Structures are given as structure tokens and as C-alpha cells.
Amino acid sequence: MGAELLFILFALTPIAVGAGLLGTGDAETPDEFGADPARADAADISDLIPDLPEDTLPLPGGGGDDVVVGTDADESAFTDRGADSVSAGGGADYIRAGGDADTVAGEAGDDVLFGEAGADLLLGGEGDDTLVGGADADSLEGGEGADVLFATDAGAEDDAADTLDGGAGNDLLFFGPADIATGGAGADAFVAAGAATVTDFDSTEDMLVVRYTGEEAPEIAAQTVTATGVELRLSDGTVITLDGLTEPVDASRIAFLEDMAL
């Protein structure tokens, strides 16, 4: 199972560098949308998001505290300022929240949810979802399905403590310093960039992938069994905490990945 998880990891890594879900190389809203991207028409959105169905419906969302409820169609929403609440409904939805603390629920379907700035709550629901937190302390819950969770957007600086929960299914979780990651049921891959905590690492089916910078990968310096789990100490001083374990993790369950690869 370890080899299969690593294959999934490397197959999905282009997403992490802004695979250009908006057709751009960064995390910013394209200028074409103007001051209120939520009011872009369906044709504009279809041009900027690859593989978006022609019948995708734009969901309204303005500069205040909005409540947006979608349908079972494939929809997209770009909310602006304000603490927004979006329930996308069924279908493969694309939701990009604006600043402030937003709540976004993808519900059924294979959804793509961006939190952007603010302490956001992203709920994937059923389906194989992709959730991207952004700045500030976000909570990401994949729900049922094979989900991909990113604590922050590619290239963004985020020192806040994020919480990730993959839920049921074989999930892929990317996170960094001070973050807390839970895989849930299934064979999960945890991709850690810095000192963080994994709450439910299963040493029989999960994989821990350590992202590093520099020419040489760090080495496993020690694994210390504590009253609450295992502390994995690397040669560069990074400590990753694996809660709930009672014995060290076999080295075959730990891999290293140079950060520039993401």
C-alpha cells in the first residue's frame, strides 16, 4: 500500500503549485473579474477554469455577509468580502471564498473549495474533493471520498494553526508547522512541511512524507515513545508528533520529498 500511496502523491503534486485552476500561476483572482468577481458571467468563468462544464451556473455572492445555496448542477461561486456561508449542493462545484471567516460546504460531488484569507471552515462532503485553506487558522474536513487537503495555498505564507480531517477514504493531506492532521478511515498520506501533529497515524497502511528544502534530505534522528504517542525527530531539528502510537514507525512508512518538487 505504501507504493500505491506514493504514486498517488506524485501524481497529484502539480495541484500544489497552483496547477492553474483559474488558468493563472498564482492564488489571486484574475483581473478580468473586476471588483466583484462573484458577478462574472458563466462565459467568463468557463474561459478561466479548465474543464468546467458549459452549463456551469455562477452562484451570486457580494461584498457583505452572504448566504449562498446551490443546486444539484455543476456550479461555481466567487464570494467577496464578508463572512460568507456557501452550500453548493450536488454536482462538481468550484467555490472560491474571499476574505474573512467563511463557511463553505461542497456537499455531494467532486468539489474544489478555496478558503483564501480568514479563518475558514471548508466541508467537502461526499465525493473526491480538493480543499485549500489559505491564510489564517482554517478547518478543512474532506468527508467521505478520496480527498486532497491543503492547509494553505501554493506559495502563500501561513503560520496559523490549521486543522485537517480527511474523513473516510484514502486521503492526501498537505500541512505545515503547528498544523494538526487527521486522516480518518482509509489509507492516508500525510505530507508534512515542518513540525506538526498527526492524530491517527496507522503504521500498517498510512504514509508520512516529509517535505524539506536544501540539497540533502534530513534523516530520522530518533523516535521517542511518550505517554501520548511517538515523537519523530529529524536531523534538522524538526519534530513531528504522531499521537496514539505505542511504538516507533517502521522506516518504510516514512519518505522524504524535496520541497521544490511541489
24 pLDDT more than 50: no
Q: Which H helix or E strand runs over 172?
A: strand 172-175
What was the pLDDT predicted at 134?
86
pTM of this prediction exceeds 0.75: no
Least confident of 44-58, 74-88, 96-110: 44-58
The answer to whether residue 170 sits within a structural domain is yes
The answer to whether residue 236 sits within a structural domain is no
The answer to whether residue 227 sits within a structural domain is no
45 near 32, Cβ under 8 Å?
no
Terminal alpha carbon distance of the chain: 22
39 pLDDT more than 50: no
What was the pLDDT predicted at 161?
94
Domain interval for residue 166: 2-213+251-261
Counting the structural domains of the chain, the total is 1
Choice between 199 and 135, residue whose per-residue pLDDT is larger: 199
What was the pLDDT predicted at 162?
96
Cell for 244? 496514539
The answer to whether residue 162 sits within a structural domain is yes
The answer to whether residue 232 sits within a structural domain is no
**Helix (H/G/I), strand (E/B), else coil: 209:** strand
What was the pLDDT predicted at 102?
86
The answer to whether residue 151 sits within a structural domain is yes
Residue 164 pairs in a beta bridge with 140, 181
The answer to whether residue 91 sits within a structural domain is yes
What was the pLDDT predicted at 98?
72
* CA 112 to the chain's CA centroid: 10
- 157: pLDDT confidence band, cut at 50, 70 and 90? low
Interval 41-51 mean pLDDT: 36
The answer to whether residue 92 sits within a structural domain is yes
29 near 37, Cβ under 8 Å?
yes
Q: pLDDT (tens digit, 9 = 90+) per residue, 166-214?
A: 999 999 999 999 999 999 999 999 999 999 999 999 999 999 999 999 8
Nearest to 211, CA basis, from 257, 151, 261: 257
